[in-house]
């Protein structure tokens, strides 16, 4: 397989790359990582792995159609896994234009380049080609405390500019399949966590602020509920779907681990108390501070991934408490990685967002 991965220097894309290249059973002949290296990128997603002749990095933007056409011709891809996106809700509220450019217009350009490539393939390879579009549960909107979890049939009802841009890209992918026959697969995941996550996201934000003695800001009452999915489980689910799902399929991917934001932060504080106690022996939870709620803040997300379990036999392996403990340990052991990112590619004053 010749595989194009967009956004492979992002958190989820990087883990996908690492797991695929480290898998001795992987059928990869060539894996091309196309990434624009924006502020949240990890320029060395394969750090610590041995050099691999199958891997190639290309710095570029999915809005650059000539570049996309050249890559498809040069590497003759058998599949695309599309991670590249602007993803941070707070940033989308402050400045939505970048989200429209990358998430909507960029996805359009990539779909069109893939469609042109598909037309050049012989019939047997055309039948095997896949375009996997990676999306989010936030496109479904919000749930009440007793509502059933999102299924693949839940109507799209995005509430933030970020979620609206992702819902738009989902619909473009759907249209490319139904109108033009592009063999698209779409996945919608719950909140990811794990090692190497960019420090503006909730879990690394809390951990780094706690260790620096800063407030741990919680939006509103902190009772916003999220389902948490370990990034390695997500990466493995995507590989399963890419290899086995029928064109046009949509799958939810969840960790089956709902937790209120305030409870999650308290769990992280308890783990820090255990693994790296404060010098004054007080709990890190004493740093929790409630701040004004975010505009349009969704109250609850929950994922029903029973279709993925029934169709393809996938289920999450990581339990949340154990996964959080391992994640805390990773950040404690890798402070230089975090410091390098916050010092060179991220304004530290923005590390004050709430949960």
Question: Cα dihedral sign for 202, 204, 210, 215?
Answer: negative
The encoded tokens of residue 307 equal: 């279709």
DSSP calls for 73-90: HHH--SEEEE------HH
Distance separating alpha carbons of residues 289 and 200, to the nearest angstrom: 17
Distance separating alpha carbons of residues 209 and 249, to the nearest angstrom: 40
- Among 162, 251, 284, 331, the active-site one is 162
Phi-psi region of 48 (alpha: psi -120 to 50; beta: other; left: phi over 0): left
Distance separating alpha carbons of residues 153 and 151, to the nearest angstrom: 5
- Among 35, 78, 137, 298, the active-site one is 137
Is 138 one of the catalytic residues?
yes
Strand ranges in the chain using DSSP code E only, listed in sequence order: 2-6, 30-35, 55-59, 79-82, 130-136, 184-189, 191-193, 216-219, 225-230, 250-253, 258-260, 288-291
Q: Which are the contacts of 301, defined by CB distance < 8 A and separation ≥ 6?
A: 137, 138, 140, 142, 143, 150, 190, 191, 225, 226, 227
Q: Which are the contacts of 44, defined by CB distance < 8 A and separation ≥ 6?
A: none
- Among 35, 42, 138, 256, the active-site one is 138
The encoded tokens of residue 23 equal: 């898998």
Catalytic residues: 137-138, 162
């Amino acid at each position: 397989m010749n595989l194009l991965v967009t956004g492979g220097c992002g958190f989820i894309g990087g883990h996908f790359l690492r797991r695929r290249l480290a898998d001795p059973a992987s059928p990869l002949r060539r894996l091309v990582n196309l990434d624009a290296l924006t502020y949240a990128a990890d320029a060395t997603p394969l750090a610590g792995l041995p050099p691999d002749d199958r891997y190639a990095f290309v710095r570029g933007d999915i809005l650059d159609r000539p570049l996309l056409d050249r890559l498809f011709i040069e590497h003759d891809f058998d599949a695309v896994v599309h991670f590249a996106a602007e993803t941070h809700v707070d940033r989308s509220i402050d400045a939505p234009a970048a989200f429209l450019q990358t998430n909507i217009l960029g996805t359009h350009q990539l779909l069109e380049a893939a469609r042109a490539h598909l037309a050049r393939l012989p019939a047997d390879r055309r039948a095997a080609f896949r375009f996997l579009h990676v999306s989010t549960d936030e496109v479904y909107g919000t749930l009440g405390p007793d509502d059933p979890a999102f299924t693949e049939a839940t109507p799209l009802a995005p509430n933030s500019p970020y979620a609206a841009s992702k819902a738009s890209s989902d619909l473009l992918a759907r249209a490319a399949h139904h109108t033009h026959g592009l063999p698209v697969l779409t996945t919608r995941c719950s909140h990811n966590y794990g090692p190497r996550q960019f420090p503006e996201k909730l879990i690394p934000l809390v951990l780094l602020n706690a260790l620096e003695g800063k407030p741990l800001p919680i939006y509103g009452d902190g009772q916003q509920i999220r389902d948490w999915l370990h990034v390695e489980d997500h990466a493995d689910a995507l590989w399963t779907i890419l290899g086995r799902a029928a064109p046009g399929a949509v799958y939810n991917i969840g960790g089956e681990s709902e937790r209120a934001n305030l409870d999650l932060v308290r769990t992280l504080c308890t783990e820090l108390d255990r693994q790296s106690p404060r010098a004054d022996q007080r709990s890190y939870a004493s740093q929790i501070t409630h701040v004004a709620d975010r505009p349009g803040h969704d109250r609850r997300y929950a994922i029903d991934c029973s279709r993925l379990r029934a169709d393809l036999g996938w289920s999450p392996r990581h339990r949340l408490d154990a996964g959080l403990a391992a994640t805390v340990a990773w950040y404690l052991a890798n402070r230089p990685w975090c410091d390098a990112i916050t010092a060179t590619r991220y304004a530290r004053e923005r590390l004050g967002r709430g949960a």
